[in-house]
Structure 1
Amino acid sequence: MTTKTHLGMLLTALMMISGCSNSDQAVNASADTDAGNTEEVTTLRFSHFMTATDNINTEALEPWAKKIEADSNGRIKVEIYPSATLSKPGATYDATAKGIVDIGMQAQGYTAGRFPLTQIVELPGITNTAQQQSCILHKLYDEGIIASEYADTHLLALVGTGQGALHTVDKPIRTPADMKGLRIRQPSAVASHIIEATGAAPVGMPASDTYTALQRGVIDGLSFTWQPIQAFRLDELINTHTNIPFYNSTFVISMNKDKYDNLPDDLKKVIDDNSGAAMAANVSKVFDVSNDKAMNAAKEKGDVMIDIPDPLDDPNWKGPLMEGSQKYLNEVNATGLDANDVYEKIKAASKTCVV
């Protein structure tokens, strides 16, 4: 073998070693760059029973989800599942506690006896607006009066939805006597006791079932705040309304405790900065605006409107409302809780929560 051949082979070997070394360095540099730019994304599945087009979803919950994503620089993504696709309306809170969903929103009244002290806020004469109700709820929570009812989740917000009313088809309700024998959808134990005290038959069902139930004659009317009348297209069926503030429904929005606890501190702060009383106020403000909008739409449609603004001072209505309220308080007292004491604290908070 000639000297030239030896030199050629040596140069070729050196070039191959150099090429491999440069290639390895390039791969390692690329891997290091990718590792530096890649951050784990936490996806939170948010379940609720409202429709995707419901303005509570589009104007309150979706903007909240987008803000969480923006404030976390994309490290948290909130996927919203409306229309009870992940959890049943009355089982969403428990689904959140068990980790079946990460965040859930449901009406406390959908689970009878689960939130007894919270539901005292639903009694007539306590609040005038959804925002006032949210304020009262968070005062009670912050003072530890109702906090134990939510100990198995990480609470995000307690939301007032506004005053309830009665809605029927061609059945004007001016006095309790007009309700005798009617089947009225009720959203909670509080509303149920008051409806029963008037001589009507309360029928429990989630909001999503009311259209079909009314259409098929399963129920004669509804006890509802105004917002769902449009949200669930009930304005297509009902034409008679009695504006009587005889109950005030509430919602809870909570997060799975383990899911929250496993977040790094900076992402916990993102959740904390976007929850609590401020979140509740934002959601309940949408309820207040929507309630007024739906009521005005019914007036413009020519629906029959009957106003009973202060039923606790009305000689016809005071008796049934007080009877139903006391029945609920007695039931809570019977469990060993001091419902009367909480009721007085709620009335005191109502005076300071003027929105």
Structure 2
Amino acid sequence: MSKTIRKLISTTAVVVAVAMAGSAAAADVKLKASHQFPGGKGDARDEMVQIIAREAAAANVGLEIQVYPGASLFKPTEQWNAMVRGQLDISAFPLDYASGRHPQFSATLMPGLVKNHDHALRLNNSPFMEDIKKIINDAGVVVLADAWLAGGFASTKNCILGPDTMKGQVTRAAGPAFEQMLAGAGASVSSMPSSEIYTGLQT
């Protein structure tokens, strides 16, 4: 396999990417896959990557994918740069984590953007996503799969029903645009990857 596939990622709420820089003529190819989510515990985001690894192994084409879950290879916010630089082959992460380099990515994680599964399918083929994927491709990354995962607001104090119920709460969101919206509603923002939310709610 010569230097064909540069990098692959999936857009939207969770990104899956593959990068194969360099060459391997008639030899087995081993790719590194990284994500921040728990491994082997049924997490849908981990399972997305594990399916790719299993299918690659089952195809018996000399391709092995080693999955590194739980941010054991790269920190969550470092994965985009690692792919662009050819240090990482496959990743699953919220695309908004790369909004520091591409602010447009923040639009993929705003609340209310996707209403249901049918809407998500239409959005995947929309001019909006065409623009997002062009940015991804121009960075040397290719989309493997689109994934929109359901989300919601949770609080240890009171039910979140609207902007008024956000006032005074310490909140977390995945990206700067989302954080700006929460701050505008009167909340204090604590930045952390989603893998640390459970611990954050307990402390």
Matched, 1:70 2:61: no
CA–CA separation in structure 1 for the residues paired with 2:147 and 2:90: 18
Q: Which amino acid aligns with 1:166?
A: F
- Corresponding position of 2:139: 152
Q: CA 1:114–1:130 in 2, change beyond 3 Å: closer, same or farther?
A: farther
Aligned to 1:107: 94
Q: By percentage of residues, which structure has more helix?
A: 1
Describe the superposition over 1:258-312 as per-residue Cα deviations: whole angstroms up to 9, x where unpaired.
xxxxxxxxxxxxxxxxxxxxxxxxxxxxxxxxxxxxxxxxxxxxxxxxxxxxxxx
Residue in 2 aligned with 1:206? 193
Give the distance between the partners of 2:88 and 2:193, measured in 1 at CA: 19
Q: Give 1:183 shift.
A: 0.5
**3-state SS of paired residue (1:212):** helix
Q: 1:61 to 1:109 in 2, by over 3 A?
A: same
Bigger relative contact order, structure 1 or 2, given CA contacts below 8 A and separation 6+? 2
* Correspondence for 1:45: 32
More displaced 10-residue stretch of structure 1: 41-50 or 95-104: 95-104
What corresponds to 1:117 in structure 2? 104
Measured after TM superposition, the shift of residue 133 of structure 1 is 3.2
Query: Is 2:43 the counterpart of 1:60?
Result: no
| Identical columns (%) | 23
Matched, 1:173 2:137: no
1:138 and 1:158 in contact (8 A); partners too = no
Aligned pairs, number: 177
TM (normalized to structure 1)?
A: 0.44
Q: Please, which moves more after superposition, 53-62 or 175-184?
A: 53-62
Name the amino acid aligned to 1:174: L
The CA distance in 2 between the partners of 1:49 and 1:144, in whole Å, is: 26
For the 8 Å contact 1:50–1:83, the answer to whether it is kept is yes
Instruction: Identify if the C-alpha distance between structure 1 residues 168 and 101 changes in structure 2 by more than 3 Å, giving closer, same or farther.
Output: same
Q: Is the 8 A contact 2:97 2:174 kept in 1?
A: yes
- Structure 1 equivalent of residue 179 of structure 2: 192
Equivalent residue of 2:88, what SS? coil
Write the letter of the residue equivalent to 2:64: K
Query: Does structure 1 retain, via aligned residues, the 8 Å contact 2:169–2:187?
Result: yes
Contact 1:44 1:102 survives alignment (8 Å): yes
Query: Does the residue aligned with 2:143 lie in a helix, a strand or coil?
Result: strand
d(CA) in 2 for partners of 1:154, 1:60? 18
8 Å contact from structure 1 (residues 132, 160) kept in 2: no
- Secondary structure at the aligned position of 2:139 is classed as coil
Mapping for residues 206-355 of structure 1, pairs under 5 Å? 206-216=193-203
How far has the Cα of 1:118 moved from its partner?
Answer: 3.5
User: Residue 190 of structure 2: SS of its match in structure 1?
Assistant: strand
2:113 paired with 1:126: yes
In structure 2, distance between residues paired with 1:145 and 1:185: 24
- Larger Cα-atom Rg: 1
Q: Does the 8 Å CA contact 1:130/1:159 hold for their aligned counterparts?
A: no
Deviation of the 1:81 alpha carbon: 0.7
CA shift in 2, pair 1:205/1:150, >3 Å: farther
- Cα distance between partner residues in 2 of 1:137 and 1:46: 24
How far apart are the structure 2 equivalents of 1:142 and 1:198? 28
- The answer for the alignment partner of 2:78 in structure 1 is 91
Q: Distance in 2 between matches of 1:145 and 1:58?
A: 23
Paired amino acid for 1:63: I
Per the alignment, in what secondary structure is the counterpart of residue 186 of structure 1? Answer: coil
Q: Which runs of 5+ in 2 are unaligned?
A: 1-25
Is 144-153 or 89-98 further displaced after alignment?
Answer: 144-153
Give the RMSD, CA atoms, in angstroms. Answer: 2.6
- Whole-Å separation in 2 of the counterparts to 1:175 and 1:68: 45
Structure 1 unaligned blocks of 5 or more: 1-38, 217-355
Question: How far apart, in 1, do the equivalents of 2:98 and 2:82 lie?
Answer: 12
CA contact under 8 A between 1:46 and 1:80: conserved in structure 2?
A: yes
